[in-house]
Amino acid sequence: MKKLSFILLAGLILSACSSIKVTTDLDKTIDFSQYKTLEYWGWSEDSDKILNRFDKERIESAFGNEFKKRGIDIVEKGQGDMIVSLYIVTEKKTQKTATTTSMGGGYGGYYGHGPRYGWGGGHSTTQIQEYDYIVGTLVISIYDAEKKELIWESVGQGTVDEDPNSREESVEKNAAKIMKEFPVQPIQE
């Protein structure tokens, strides 16, 4: 089951079918237009071990394309103005729902108040349903290469999409959502 949840994560990048919640923070004293190159340091704490090769490449490519759209080139380690690191984690959650159905009852029974007065009997049934789902979280952290200080970070969180057919499109769309608040916007062509 553990392996299955990790495979489901691959559909992640936070399902195109469900909305993702994105939280971003940055150093407001930084002029982000000064950065022209980035180097990719990889996955923090080997978090990519839960991804298969294809989904790992999709995620890295989607973020690479987002930076290219902003005029930022990807260069070899040791040559970039910025350093980019990714981190991914999943959490299994359970949700319960309850539905109550009532029948009968109401005014008109006899309970010591004379004929046909008072509340009558009835019954109700409550059904409780429980289902499991996986929440995926992807963090992209960007550091100033010279100072080695965090300058921008964005976290995307959402329910993992189990449909392998929609992965490529959902990865691209959600990488764009995560990068939307990056201080350098895509260059208009």
Q: What are the residue boundaries of the structural domains of the chain, listed by start?
A: 2-93+133-179, 96-128
Residue 24 has a pLDDT of 96
CATH number of the structural domain 2-93+133-179: 3.30.160.670
Check whether 87 has a pLDDT greater than 50. yes
Which regions of the chain does DSSP assign to beta strands (E)? 21-26, 37-43, 73-75, 82-107, 119-144, 149-159
**More confident call, 115 vs 5:** 115
List, for residues 97-148, the tens digit of each pLDDT value: 888 887 766 555 455 555 555 555 667 788 888 877 677 889 999 999 999 9
Nearest C-alpha neighbor of 14 from the set 164, 135, 106 = 135
Check whether 3 has a pLDDT greater than 60. no
What mean pLDDT is predicted for residues 72-86?
A: 93
Residue 116 has a pLDDT of 54
Overall size of the chain counted in residues: 189
**More confident call, 25 vs 125:** 25
How would you classify the pairing of strands 21-26 and 149-159? Answer: antiparallel
